[in-house]
């Protein structure tokens, strides 16, 4: 007879239960929506999550119900992550920066049974309520509040709901293939689509992220997740932090540079995560305040391309290692992460930096490939560019409610990104396939053109777009935001591209603007720029 190992379902509740049992006294600091600070710990988060689960049972919320959240990064949101999924429900994080129409669409599409929301969103929820037919319970994430109760009929209060629940609620064992979380894509084209995570995919993602060459999170860290908990699960760190028992600082609604500097210094943050725009603001605030962010050792950046100057700026001025990562809502999100290999040890900082600008390599659990327009797999030589495909344990199979298979015939997910992969498996994202400029059949990377513009001392930010062109179909136009007080000329900036790109890749035109349109997850909205400037190279009509 063969032997046998125990078989236990991979359940999200096991993460918070572990954190409570083995890191119970480790602090979770939460900046609340009213600006006050709460200090609890992992034992407290687990107890409240159990009380929430029990409170939802008492309310009659069904097994498998979707629980919508419109919330900042705070401790109640963390409790809903675990209390929802842990009790067999599905935590559905909603991006509050979307338009009211998009939010209504998403809540109806998900058929959320409960909607949890922070006080910031009370007026908006009051307005949306008549359109949210599936929602039986509206829950304000805080103590009872008479004015809010007035605004929303039948309103429940999170603190009542949890206080009335049982802190000894026993986490049920849940089939690991059942859903634990739901998050919608940002939907820049068409309606947003739901991506449903399972207990199993979430646990495997956590294990994949929690390696030394991954997030390298540990029980000795103080983690500041600046990336919102509604943006692809805050990149999985609520789960990853529980698994290792890291100390966590949840920043609340104020993500301004000065507030983040204050939190980093006062709470002695060692690691943080966020999109490049946030780090640009942080760098400005560090300069203004004179803070050296002395406790910080590293920060993970992803979500959009990294301005190349950011790595040396963090390294040389603050001793902070910047780790570049790539992912999507559909990929839980970790798809690749940039760490060096043993063979790179003897390289100079400058040589290492060239590698580290890219998006890095896949962790165990996922695989990448690039293909051409006929679906032929392309060589991984750092040169060939093609559509990036991914497959693995935490990658989407089917969009929520659509029954729509998201995969290619041979089982890969087409990311919609255009990339190269080198012989060591290092990924470089060249563009979104819908953003890349197709000039006379050749491709021009908007990311590359933007990086050059941003390297000009007079330019603060830039976006390159494909503008329609009579002869070449599309040609590059750069929309640039000058540094305040500076006014570089168009000729000067175009000349700045000389020798940096081939002649045919030079922008045809530079348009100066005061700011770039930014979407709900902090990314520049190139579709808006194409609408505004896509025809600037065409002869005027008539
Ligand atoms: P979302 O699902 O909203 O997180 O968007 C995912 C998309 O963001 C990807 O398909 C990429 O186009 C882009 N993205 C994410 N991380 C990076 C990165 N490190 N560099 C460049 N683009 C990125």
* Digit-coded pLDDT (tens) for 443-499: 899 999 999 999 999 999 999 999 999 888 899 999 999 999 999 999 999 999 998
Question: What is the full DSSP assignment across 120-182?
Answer: GGHHHHHHHGGG-TT--EEEESSS--HHHHHHSTT-EEHHHHHHTS-TTPPPPP--TTSEEEE
Residue 359 near ligand 1, beta carbon < 6 Å: yes
CA contacts within 13 A on the Cβ side of 95: 25
Q: Shortest CA distance to 333 belongs to which of 178, 208, 177, 189?
A: 208
| Residue 205 dihedral angles phi and psi, to the nearest 5° | -60, -40
Per DSSP, the chain holds a count of helices (H) and strands (E) of: 16, 24
Rounded to an integer, what distance in angstroms lies between the CA atom of residue 404 and that of residue 416? 17
Residue nearest to atom 9 of ligand 1 (CA): 328
- CB-count exposure of residue 36 (10 Å: 0-12, 13-18, 19+): exposed
- Per-residue pLDDT at 189 exceeds 70: no
> pLDDT confidence of 541, banded at 50, 70, 90?
low
Distance in angstroms (rounded) separating the CA atoms of residues 369 and 530: 29
* The ligand 1 atom nearest the CA atom of 329: 2
Does the pLDDT value for residue 404 go beyond 80?
no
Residue 502: its pLDDT value, please? 85
Q: Is 27 exposed, middle or buried (0-12, 13-18, 19+ CB in 10 A)?
A: middle
Question: Is residue 188 pLDDT above 70, yes or no?
Answer: no
pLDDT surpassing 70 at residue 187? no
**DSSP character for 23?**
S
Ligand 1 mutation target, pool 327, 387, 394, most atoms within 8 A of CB: 327
| Section 36-56 average pLDDT | 98
d(CA 331, CA 391): 9
- Which residues touch 213 (CB under 8 Å, ≥6 apart)? 337, 339, 363
| Residue 305, ligand 1, Cβ within 6 A | yes
Residue 62, pLDDT score: 98
The more confidently predicted of residues 17 and 405 is: 17
- In this prediction, residue 73 carries a pLDDT of 98
In the chain, what percentage of residues exceed pLDDT 90?
A: 87
Sign for the pseudo-dihedral over CA of 448, 453, 455, 459: negative
Query: Residues 132, 105: contact at Cβ < 8 Å?
Result: no
pLDDT of residue 277: 85
Q: Is 417 in the pocket of ligand 1 (CB under 6 A)?
A: yes
Please tell me the pTM assigned to this model. Answer: 0.92
Backbone angles phi, psi at 103, to 5 degrees: -65, -45
Alpha-carbon distance of 525 to 510, in angstroms, equals: 17
Is the pLDDT assigned to residue 542 strictly greater than 80? no
Task: Give, in order, the Cα–Cα distances in Å from 460 to each of 284, 485, 486.
Answer: 12, 11, 10
pLDDT greater than 60 at residue 103: yes
Is pLDDT above 90 for 434? no
* Structure tokens, 542: 């008539």
- CA of residue 31 to ligand 1 center, whole Å: 28
In the chain the domains, ranked by start, together with CATH numbers, are 13-254 (3.40.50.12780), 437-533 (3.30.300.30)
Which residues form the catalytic set? 185, 330, 438, 443
**HSE-up (13 A, CA, CB side) for residue 36:** 4
Atom 4, ligand 1: residue with shortest CA distance: 328
Decide: 95 in ligand 1 pocket, CB within 6 A: no
Tell me the C-alpha distance between 366 and 417, whole Å: 16
Length, in residues, of the chain: 542
pLDDT value, residue 309 = 87
Kindly list the strands in the beta sheet with 179-184, ordered across the sheet, starting from the edge strand earlier in the chain. 156-157, 137-140, 114-117, 66-70, 90-93, 179-184, 194-198
**Nearest ligand 1 atom to alpha carbon 416:** 10
**Is the Cβ atom of 329 under 6 angstroms away from ligand 1?**
yes
Mean of pLDDT over the chain: 95
What's the pLDDT score for residue 97? 87
Which of 387, 533, 540, 517 minimizes the C-alpha distance to 465? 533
In whole angstroms, give the CA distance from residue 466 to residue 434.
10
The predicted pLDDT at position 283 comes to 94
Q: Which residue has the higher pLDDT, 273 or 98?
A: 273
- Beta-strand runs (E) in 313-412: 321-327, 334-337, 366-371, 386-392
Whether 540 shows a pLDDT value over 80: the answer reads no
pLDDT in tens, 509-534: 999 999 999 888 778 899 899 999 99
CA dist., res. 82 & res. 187, Å (int): 27
pLDDT tens-digit series, residues 415-431 = 999 999 999 999 999 99
Q: CA-to-CA distance for 305 and 60, rounded, in angstroms?
A: 45
| Helix pair 75-86, 13-22: axis angle to 10 deg | 120
> In this structure, what token pair is assigned to residue 356?
């580290």
74 CB within 6 A, ligand 1 = no
């Amino acid at each position: 007879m063969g032997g046998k190992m125990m078989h236990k379902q991979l359940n999200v509740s096991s993460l918070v239960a572990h954190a409570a049992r083995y890191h119970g006294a480790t602090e979770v600091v939460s900046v609340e929506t009213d600006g006050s600070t709460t200090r609890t710990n992992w034992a407290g988060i687990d107890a409240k999550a159990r009380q929430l689960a029990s409170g939802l049972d008492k309310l009659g919320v069904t097994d498998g119900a979707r629980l919508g959240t419109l919330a900042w990064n705070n401790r109640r949101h963390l409790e809903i992550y675990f209390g929802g999924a842990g009790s067999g429900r599905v935590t559905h994080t909603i991006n509050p920066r979307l338009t009211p129409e998009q939010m209504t669409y998403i809540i109806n599409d998900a058929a959320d049974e409960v909607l949890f929301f922070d006080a910031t969103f009370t007026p908006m929820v009051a307005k949306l309520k008549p359109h949210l037919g599936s929602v039986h319970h509206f829950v304000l994430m805080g103590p009872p509040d008479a004015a809010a109760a007035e605004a929303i009929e039948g309103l429940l209060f999170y603190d009542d709901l949890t206080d009335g629940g049982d802190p000894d609620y026993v986490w049920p064992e849940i089939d690991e293939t059942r859903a634990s979380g739901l998050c919608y894509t940002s939907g820049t084209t068409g309606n947003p689509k739901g991506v449903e995570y399972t207990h199993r995919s979430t646990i495997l993602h956590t294990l994949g992220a929690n390696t030394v060459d991954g997030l390298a999170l540990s029980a000795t860290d103080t983690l500041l997740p600046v990336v919102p908990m509604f943006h692809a699960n805050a990149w999985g760190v609520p789960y990853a932090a529980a698994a290792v028992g890291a100390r966590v600082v949840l920043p609340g609604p104020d993500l301004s540079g000065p507030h983040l500097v204050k939190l980093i210094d006062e709470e002695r943050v060692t690691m943080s995560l966020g999109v490049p725009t946030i780090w640009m603001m942080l760098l400005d605030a560090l300069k203004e305040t004179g803070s050296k962010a002395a406790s910080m050792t590293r920060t993970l950046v992803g979500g959009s391309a990294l301005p190349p100057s950011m790595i040396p700026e963090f390294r040389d001025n603050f001793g902070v290692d910047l780790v570049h990562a790539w992912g999507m809502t559909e990929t839980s999100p970790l798809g690749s992460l940039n760490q060096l290999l043993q063979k790179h040890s003897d390289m100079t900082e400058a040589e290492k930096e060239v590698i580290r600008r890219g998006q890095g390599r896949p962790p165990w659990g996922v695989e990448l490939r690039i293909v051409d327009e006929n679906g032929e797999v392309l060589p991984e030589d750092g040169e060939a560019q093609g559509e990036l495909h991914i497959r693995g344990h935490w990658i989407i199979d089917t969009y929520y409610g659509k029954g729509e298979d998201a995969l290619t015939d041979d089982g890969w997910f087409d990311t919609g990104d255009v990339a190269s992969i080198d012989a060591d498996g290092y990924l470089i994202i060249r563009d979104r396939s819908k953003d890349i400029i197709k000039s006379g059949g050749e491709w021009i990377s908007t990311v590359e053109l933007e990086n050059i513009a941003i390297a000009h001392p007079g330019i603060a930010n830039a976006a390159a777009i494909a503008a329609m062109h009579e002869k070449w179909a599309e040609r590059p136009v750069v929309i640039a935001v000058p540094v305040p007080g500076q006014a570089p000329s168009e000729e000067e900036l175009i000349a700045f591209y000389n020798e940096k790109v081939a002649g045919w890749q030079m922008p045809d035109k530079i348009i100066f603007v005061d700011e770039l349109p930014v979407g709900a997850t902090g990314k520049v909205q190139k579709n808006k720029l194409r609408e505004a400037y896509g025809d600037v190279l065409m002869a005027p009509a008539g």
